[in-house]
Structure 1
Amino acid sequence: MGKIVLVGDKYTVSLFEIMGAEGIILEDPYQLENSLISLKKREDVDLVLVTKDIYDPVREKVDPVISGQTKPLITVIPSPYSESAPMDVRKMVLRALGFG
């Protein structure tokens, strides 16, 4: 089973690390594109979660990196600092496993 990696702010990364995920803290959203490109090359990663507050400022720049990506699955999640609709974790996990 592959790893889950969270890319986001220090607080959210810390919470996911407590649950066993790997974390990458980004202070500057403009580092996101390079982080995603390097994560796409890793064979041990199945799911990459990016916090919405890191993704939103650079959406246009990273969407080409994310679009059509199946392994690892890259998806945006809300953070404590963003307003967003609740995420469907079941759907996200099924997609990561190749069933959605």
Structure 2
Amino acid sequence: MSSQVAVMADSDTVTGFKLGGVKEGYPIKDMEEAEKTLKELVKKDFSIIIITEKIADGIRETIDKFTKASTLPMIIEIPDKTGSIKRESDPMRELIKRVIGVEMVK
């Protein structure tokens, strides 16, 4: 597994990450493209895939399939330019719990 980072998001978010030094950025227009791109990134052995919450919610089943099968790649969900989505469970909290085995308390 390489130590590469990729970002899947709207074009503005991808541009921001590229300005910050992330070389692999994939602007996503629809959920079909998002699912295809995620599968390709997993095959390319990226170790971290950053994805916006809205896109992640649209392809939740595919993300769950990959995250339950292996700890890598880490799929990290971030808010997009419109802000965070209110949820019952926090994907980042679940990721930390799965990776290190400890639940973080607020």
TM-score (norm. length: structure 2): 0.68
State the secondary structure of the residue aligned to 1:11.
helix
Aligned residue in 2 for 1:58: 59
Residue-by-residue CA offset, 1:17-68 (whole Å, 9 max, x unaligned): 111112100111222221111111113x210011012122332354223333
Q: Report whether the alignment pairs 1:24 with 2:13.
A: no
Structure 2 letter corresponding to 1:49:
I
Aligned residue in 1 for 2:8: 7
For the aligned residue pairs, the C-alpha RMSD in angstroms reads: 2.7
What stretches of structure 1 of length at least 5 have no aligned partner? none
State the secondary structure of the residue aligned to 2:47.
strand
Q: Is the 8 A contact 1:51 1:78 kept in 2?
A: yes
Percent identity of equivalent pairs:
25
Aligned residue in 2 for 1:49: 50
State the secondary structure of the residue aligned to 1:27.
coil
Between Structure 1 and Structure 2, the one with more strand by share is: 1
What stretches of structure 2 of length at least 5 have no aligned partner? 101-106
TM-score (norm. length: structure 1): 0.71
Residue-by-residue CA offset, 1:45-99 (whole Å, 9 max, x unaligned): 21001101212233235422333332221121111124247997xxx7xx6xxx7
Q: Is the 8 A contact 1:7 1:26 kept in 2?
A: yes
Aligned residue in 2 for 1:80: 81
Q: Is the 8 A contact 1:36 1:65 kept in 2?
A: no
Matched residue pairs, number?
Answer: 91
Q: Distance in 1 between matches of 2:68 and 2:37?
A: 15
- Which structure would you say has the larger Rg? 2
